[in-house]
């Protein structure tokens, strides 16, 4: 009797979906991902070990390959892949990415009718009195470089007028004074950015607690119409007073009790609580990079991101958004923090400041006649070159994170969750080189994810920066 060996692989995808919505998530995967594809056959909904599971078979071209796939409605979502043939990394990575995009699409729909409460026990809640600060942080984290470029131009010309016209400074000295001013701002950037955060995260207050609850579309609209911002904040305060203030843990029961008092009828399965020891995660990442742990600030905005500032490890600051903590698991958060710590350890802000300052001095003192004649072309070329070189530093930070944590897949998953919309956009572009020419210090996110997923022998990477330069140039050429 012949027996055929079955190759098996499995992986998990953490989701922010509340328990009662896991079945809806399975329906969404079926409707959005499985049903539209002619490559999926034998679709079934079954129960395995008490958990509802969606099963289907991937059939290759000309019926050449059959792969059985099981997706279980749990959190994290369990994916099991079975095949009588070798399961290639390419196939598994593509399946993983497609499922992550589908899950992110569902989560995005859920966020539209989800209320989030965030606390840092032991620290005064200042998030509601800092709207303007959050707007600035939002601009930083969404990468709106045009906004900052316009601000920079306004600042430059205003300073030029004040110093040369009103204070009678010789024009020849203005570029030097201007760069010195920027240098001072960069040296104190960690202090400036620190003021933009909502809560400091310290050893005494290391945890961030997040409570979310979902409402049906109609009830969500009624909720927003019925309760003012002040009333919603009152709900948040009451939950805090009945839990953290009494030395108790945040619980679903306590949240339900308060919500019921406000007339909100909600099931336990529609509530999700998450606690993140962000101080411990940053401390662990710092240990991996052999540097002092930087200061940590939490910004209470929905954009999932983190940012590093400071010119040295001792002056470092990490800003993390609540949106990042909501979407990522601890391992993914660690990989993102490690990426940011690479910038601090390598002193990337100084390197990029030196690069941009050299271009500025070259432009105003040596190439001014060329700039005068071809100002638009020159600026497009110069800024494009600076941003392209900046991509080397971002790519190195990706490698440094992968080397330090030994988990390149975690950073790849984090990038997919953070930038899945961008990934879809890059896939749809007919001319891929556009992704490389944007005024953005980051390489295309699809390139970064693909590069991390292909990493196999991390110990063989001896020069991360040189490898990053080569990989970026290769990626750019490949896109032409």
Same-domain pairing of 428 and 459 = yes
Q: What confidence score (pLDDT) does residue 232 get?
A: 94
More confident residue, 55 or 140: 55
Q: Across the chain, what does the average pLDDT equal?
A: 88
Residues 57 and 105 in one domain: yes
d(CA 203, CA 278) in angstroms, rounded, equals 10
CA distance 127 to 1: 69
Domain count, the chain: 3
Same domain, 50 and 120: no
- Give the residue-averaged pLDDT of 24-34: 96
Domain end among 111, 139, 156? 111
Q: By three-state DSSP, how is residue 292 classified?
A: coil
Same domain, 119 and 87: no
- Is 80 exceeded by the pLDDT of residue 166? no
| SS3 label, residue 207 | strand
Query: In terms of domains, do 354 and 262 share one?
Result: no
Euclidean distance between the first and the last CA atom of the chain, given in angstroms as a whole number: 54
- Judged against a pLDDT cut of 80, whether residue 128 lies above it is answered with no
**In the numeric block, which tokens belong to residue 19?**
């328990």
Residue 98: left if φ>0, alpha if ψ -120 to 50, beta else—which one?
Answer: alpha
* Domain end marker among 277, 293, 314: 277
Asked if residue 466 belongs to a domain, the reply is yes
Q: Is the pLDDT of residue 230 over 50?
A: yes
Do 270 and 122 fall into the same domain?
yes
Which candidate, 452, 458, 460, 472, places its Cα nearest to that of 97? 452
- The DSSP-derived string for 62-84 is GG--EEEEEEE-SSSEEEEEEES
Q: Give the domain range for residue 99.
A: 7-111
* Within a domain: 179: no
Is 167 inside any structural domain? no
In a domain, 61, yes or no: yes
For residue 30, give the nearest of 103, 139, 121 by alpha carbon: 103
- Shared domain for 119 and 242, answered yes or no, is yes
Residues 83 and 121 in one domain: no
Instruction: Note whether 121 and 228 are same-domain residues.
Output: yes
Cα–Cα nearest to 291, from 314, 275, 257, 307: 314
* Domain match, 356 and 475 both: yes
**Contact status, residue 92 vs residue 101, Cβ threshold 8 Å:** no
Q: Which of 88, 111, 134 is the last residue of a domain?
A: 111
When mean pLDDT is compared over 10-24, 141-155, 191-205, 367-381, the highest value belongs to 10-24
* Measured distance CA(72)–CA(53) in Å, rounded: 4
Domain holding 92: CATH number? 3.30.530
- 328 occurs within a structural domain: no
| pLDDT confidence of residue 152 | 60
Q: Looking at the domain assignment, is residue 356 inside a domain?
A: yes
Average pLDDT, integer, range 236-246: 95
């Amino acid at each position: 009797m012949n027996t055929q060996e079955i190759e098996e692989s499995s992986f998990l995808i953490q989701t922010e979906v509340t328990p009662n919505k896991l079945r809806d998530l399975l329906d969404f995967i079926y409707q959005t991902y499985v049903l539209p594809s002619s490559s999926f056959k034998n679709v079934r909904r079954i129960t395995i070990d008490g958990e509802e599971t969606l099963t289907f078979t991937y059939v290759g071209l000309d019926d050449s390959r059959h792969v059985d796939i099981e997706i279980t409605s749990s959190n994290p979502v369990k994916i099991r892949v079975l095949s009588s043939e070798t399961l290639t990394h390419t196939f598994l990575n593509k399946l993983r990415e497609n499922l992550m995009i589908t899950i992110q699409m569902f989560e995005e729909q859920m966020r539209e009718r989800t209320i989030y409460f965030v606390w840092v026990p032991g620290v005064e809640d200042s998030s509601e009195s800092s709207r303007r600060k959050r707007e600035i942080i939002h601009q930083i984290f969404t990468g709106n470089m045009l906004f900052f470029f316009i601000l920079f131009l306004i600042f430059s010309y205003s300073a030029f007028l004040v110093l040369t016209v009103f204070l009678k400074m010789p024009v020849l000295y203005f570029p030097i004074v201007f760069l010195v001013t920027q240098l001072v701002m960069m040296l104190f950037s960690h202090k400036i950015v620190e003021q933009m955060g909502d809560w400091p995260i310290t050893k005494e207050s290391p945890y961030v607690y997040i409570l979310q609850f979902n409402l049906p579309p109609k009830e969500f609209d009624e909720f927003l119409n019925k309760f003012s911002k002040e009333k919603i904040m009152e709900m948040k305060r009451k939950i805090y007073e009945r839990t953290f203030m009494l030395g108790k843990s945040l619980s679903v029961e306590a949240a339900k009790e308060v919500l019921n008092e406000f007339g909100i009828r909600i099931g336990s399965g529609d509530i999700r609580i998450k606690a993140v020891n962000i101080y411990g995660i940053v401390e662990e990442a710092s240990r991996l990079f052999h540097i002092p742990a930087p200061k940590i600030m939490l910004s209470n905005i929905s954009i999932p991101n983190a940012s590093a500032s400071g010119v040295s490890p001792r002056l470092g600051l990490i800003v993390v958004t609540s949106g990042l903590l909501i979407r990522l698991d601890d391992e993914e958060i660690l990989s993102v923090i490690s990426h940011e710590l690479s910038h601090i350890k390598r002193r990337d802000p100084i390197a990029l400041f030196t690069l941009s300052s050299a271009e500025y001095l070259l432009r105003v003192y040596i190439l001014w006649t060329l700039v005068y004649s071809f100002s638009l072309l020159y600026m497009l070329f110069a800024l494009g070159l600076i941003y392209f070189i900046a991509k080397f530093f971002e790519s190195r930070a990706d490698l440094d994170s992968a080397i330090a944590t030994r988990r390149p897949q975690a950073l790849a998953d984090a990038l997919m969750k953070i930038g899945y919309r961008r990934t879809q956009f890059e896939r749809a572009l007919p001319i891929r080189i556009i992704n490389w020419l944007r005024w953005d210090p980051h390489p295309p996110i699809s390139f970064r994810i693909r590069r991390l997923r292909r990493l196999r022998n991390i110990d063989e990477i001896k020069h991360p920066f040189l490898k990053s330069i080569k990989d970026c140039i290769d990626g750019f050429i490949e896109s032409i």
